[in-house]
């Protein structure tokens, strides 16, 4: 293996990306290329500051595959995967991130090296959406190493630390400087990012993402899938709880009343602010895809909201048919609780819920449906507002969709 030829190959691949794929090329230019010690780096790696590579691995790839590798590492950084893991298992998160990135690069015409993770099942899904679909003890392995954070104690798919130094938490000692390459053996593995570094780099990479996208769009060389992803990432993010509160509050807004006052009052009819009770129907998909903990969290939010805005709530549970005992009605002062057990787990048909709501003398002010959106929808949109709280990637034919993942 000739190190000079490896460096020339990396330089040529990066130049091709800049010319042919300016969005990806601009991101790759932000990562200095560092030869790593092969004892810890089998392929490539990134800590969101630099791109580390195993020279023998790069030497075995053709230039098209090297372009894929460089773009892959740059997208991990641009999408802030290093700052989005939160409580999730590190190995499953790393696998989910690879499944999220690789289809985008394939759609953009890049040629993948051996060992790449890709599945049509996960097309157009974010890492957060893919993560629950990854088995807890998955044998899948990322094609690279994500060295921006440490494994948690329960990350059983990760090898244990080899030295006492590696077991130190970020608060046990000051952060070490980034490792520099040894002319002979390559750079040692850098320490994981601190929380402050993650926050700063996340903002920095978002700015880089926006700048690279703008340049590529102006040049007319922005892939459709990547353009949609960038547009989604750069939009302001609101938690689903905040969005739910926003829509329910809008429905329950106070209004002015011109009702005639008491005879003892003035003859003049002045507008006065009145607040009336609203009727909300909440439907829960019991087809088997929604976990009990997720139902509990969802209902807790609804319970808190209904008390604040005087909402009378009717709860329905449905898979292909309405659950036995439905509906359950809760006044604003009642605590919202689930029946001990739903008999569900079958197929999904949303029609029974809408048929029930349509048959009522007074239509609901709003219908909230908690589901994965995989099932049979009504053929006609109802006259009342419908809010879908969706776990997963499925679309809905009408109403407002809020992503739960």
Tell me the pLDDT tens digit for each residue of 160-208.
444 334 434 433 444 445 555 555 678 999 999 998 999 899 889 988 9
42 lies in some domain: yes
What are 8's two structure tokens? Answer: 């020339």
pLDDT of residue 209: 86
Same domain for 229 and 274?
no
| Per-residue pLDDT at 325 | 86
Tokens of 150: 């440490």
d(CA 364, CA 383): 9
Are 244 and 305 in contact by the 8 Å Cβ rule? The answer is yes
| Residue 247, domain CATH | 3.40.50
The answer to whether residues 221 and 72 belong to one domain is yes
- Is 261 part of any domain? no
| Coil, helix or strand at residue 297 | helix
Per-residue confidence (pLDDT) for residue 159, from 0 to 100? 45
Residue 97 lies inside a defined structural domain of this protein: yes
Whether 347 is in a domain gets the answer yes
Closest residue by Cα to residue 98 from 72, 79, 78, 80: 72
Give the containing element (helix H, strand E) for 330. strand 328-330
- What does residue 232 show for φ and ψ, rounded to 5 degrees? -65, -45
The verdict on 226 and 282 lying in the same domain is no
d(CA 273, CA 257): 6
What is d(CA 260, CA 253) in angstroms, rounded to the nearest whole number?
Answer: 22
Q: Domain for residue 154, yes or no? A: yes
Q: What angle do CA 235, 124, 208 make, to 5 degrees?
A: 45
Contact 74, 30 (CB under 8 A): yes
The beta-carbon contacts of 73-76 under 8 Å, at least 24 apart in sequence, are 73/28, 73/31, 73/44, 73/45, 73/46, 73/144, 74/24, 74/27, 74/28, 74/30, 74/31, 75/24, 75/27, 75/101, 75/104, 75/105, 76/46, 76/48, 76/101, 76/144, 76/146
Instruction: Specify whether the backbone of 321 is left (phi greater than 0), alpha (psi in -120 to 50) or beta.
Output: beta
Residue 282 to residue 41: CA distance in whole angstroms: 51
Domain co-membership, 212 together with 282: no
Residues of the chain scoring pLDDT < 70: 1, 151-184, 231-241, 243, 248, 250-276, 288-290, 307-308, 338, 340-346, 405
**Tally of helices (H runs) and strands (E runs) in the chain:** 11, 12
Assigned domain for 170 exists: no
Closest to 388 (Cα-Cα) out of 246, 244, 287: 244
285 with 372: CB under 8 angstroms?
yes
Q: In the block, which residue shows the tokens 């899938």? A: 225
Residues 50 and 183 in one domain: yes
User: What tens digit of pLDDT does each residue of 77-97 get?
Assistant: 999 999 999 889 999 999 999
Same structural domain, 215 and 247: no
Specify the pLDDT at position 190: 93
Strands (E), 29-70: 33-35, 44-46, 51-53
> Which residues are paired to 313 by β-bridges?
280, 330
Asked, for residue 264, whether it belongs to a domain, the answer is no
Residues 107 and 92 in one domain: yes
Looking at residue 341, its pLDDT comes to 66
Contact indicator for 242, 402 with CB cutoff of 8 Å: no
Q: Say if residue 210 is in the same domain as residue 245.
A: no
Residues contacting 312, CB < 8 A, separation 6+:
277, 278, 279, 280, 306, 329, 330, 331, 332
10 and 144 in a single domain? The answer is: yes
Do 217 and 322 sit in the same domain of this protein? no
Cα–Cα dist 77/69, whole Å:
13
97 and 198 assigned to the same domain: yes
Segments forming the whole domain that contains residue 367: 240-252+270-403
Burial of 292 (0-12, 13-18, 19+ CB in 10 A): exposed
Structure tokens of 132? 């629950």
In this structure, is residue 208 part of a structural domain? yes
Q: How many domains does one find in the chain?
A: 2
> Are 190 and 311 in a shared domain?
no
pLDDT value at position 124? 77
Q: Look up tokens 């890049």; give the residue.
A: 110
């Amino acid at each position: 293996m000739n190190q000079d030829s490896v460096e020339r190959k990396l330089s040529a691949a990066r130049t091709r990306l800049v010319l042919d794929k300016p969005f990806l090329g601009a991101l790759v230019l932000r990562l200095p290329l560092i030869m790593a010690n092969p004892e810890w780096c089998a392929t490539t790696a990134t800590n969101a500051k630099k791109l580390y590579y195993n020279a023998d691995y790069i030497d075995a790839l053709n230039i098209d595959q090297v372009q894929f590798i460089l773009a892959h590492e740059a997208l991990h950084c641009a999408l802030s995967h290093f700052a989005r893991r939160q409580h999730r298992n590190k190995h499953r998160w790393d696998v989910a991130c690879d499944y999220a990135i690789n289809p985008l690069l394939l759609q953009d015409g890049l040629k993948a090296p051996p060992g790449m993770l890709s599945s049509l099942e996960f097309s157009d899904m974010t890492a957060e959406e893919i993560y629950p679909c990854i088995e807890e003890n998955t044998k899948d392995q990322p094609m690279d190493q994500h060295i921006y954070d440490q494994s948690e104690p329960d990350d059983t798919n990760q090898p244990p630390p080899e030295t006492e130094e590696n077991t130190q938490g970020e608060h046990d000692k000051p952060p070490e400087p980034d490792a520099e390459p040894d002319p002979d053996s390559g750079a040692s593995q850098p320490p994981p990012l601190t929380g402050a570094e993650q926050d700063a780099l996340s903002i920095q990479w978002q700015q880089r993402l926006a700048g690279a996208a703008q340049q590529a769009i102006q040049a007319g060389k922005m892939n459709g899938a990547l353009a949609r992803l960038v547009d989604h990432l750069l939009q302001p993010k609101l938690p689903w709880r905040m969005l739910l509160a926003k829509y329910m509050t809008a429905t329950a807004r106070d209004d002015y009343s011109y009702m005639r006052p008491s005879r003892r009052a003035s003859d003049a009819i002045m507008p006065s602010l009145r607040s009336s009770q609203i009727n909300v129907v909440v439907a829960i998909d019991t087809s088997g895809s929604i976990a009990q903990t997720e139902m509990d969290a969802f209902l807790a939010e609804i319970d808190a909201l209904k008390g604040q805005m005087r909402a009378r709530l009717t709860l329905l549970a449905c898979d292909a048919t309405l659950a036995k005992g439905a509906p359950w009605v809760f006044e604003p002062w009642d605590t919202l609780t689930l029946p001990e057990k739903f008999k569900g787990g079958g197929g999904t048909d949303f029609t029974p819920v809408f048929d029930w709501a349509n048959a009522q003398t007074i239509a609901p002010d709003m219908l909230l449906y908690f589901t994965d959106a995989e099932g049979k929808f009504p053929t006609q949109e109802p006259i009342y507002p419908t809010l879908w709280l969706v776990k997963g990637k499925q679309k809905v034919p009408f109403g407002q969709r809020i992503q739960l993942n």
